[in-house]
Amino acid sequence: MPSKPTALKRRTTLTLPADSLQQAQKIAHARRVNLSTVISEVISAGLNLESARHRRTQILDNYRKAFAAFSPDELAILDGVILETDGVILEKTKSSSKRHP
């Protein structure tokens, strides 16, 4: 079975809040791993969350930009709402009221 590729590592010094360091030490002790492993995993998880947050923000911004030029009536039509000529809503089409899994 091929071995898992290891990430390049660098040694550095960090200044951490005492309570966070103590929590990390407790986790390391309970899991019987070194403190560096716990800190590395926590940093990786935090960076993944930040990356996901950034992607969500980008998607929402792109969505807003794509639909910014539409009027409220045009957005209603895109949503499947049928409008009268004076702008009063008659009905919503069946396809737009369906829930997709």
Give the residue numbers spanning the domain of 48. Answer: 19-69
**Assigned domain for 2 exists:** no
Q: What is the pLDDT of residues 10-63, one digit of tens each?
A: 889 989 999 999 999 999 999 999 999 999 999 999 999 999 999 999 999 998
**Assigned domain for 6 exists:** no
Residues 78 and 62 in one domain: no
Contact assessment for residue 83 and residue 73, using Cβ atoms and an 8 Å cutoff: yes
More confident residue, 7 or 84: 7
pLDDT at position 101, please?
39
Residues 42 and 63 in one domain: yes
Residues 54 and 94 in one domain: no
**Assigned domain for 11 exists:** no
Instruction: Note the pTM of the prediction, 2 decimals.
Output: 0.56
**Assigned domain for 1 exists:** no
Domains contained in the chain, number:
2
3-class secondary structure per residue, 1-67? CCCCCCCCCCCCCCCCCHHHHHHHHHHHHHHCCCHHHHHHHHHHHHHHHHHHHHHHHHHHHHHHHHH
Residues 65 and 25 in one domain: yes
- For the cut 60, the answer to whether the pLDDT of residue 94 exceeds it is no
pLDDT at position 97, please?
46
Residues 75 and 45 in one domain: no
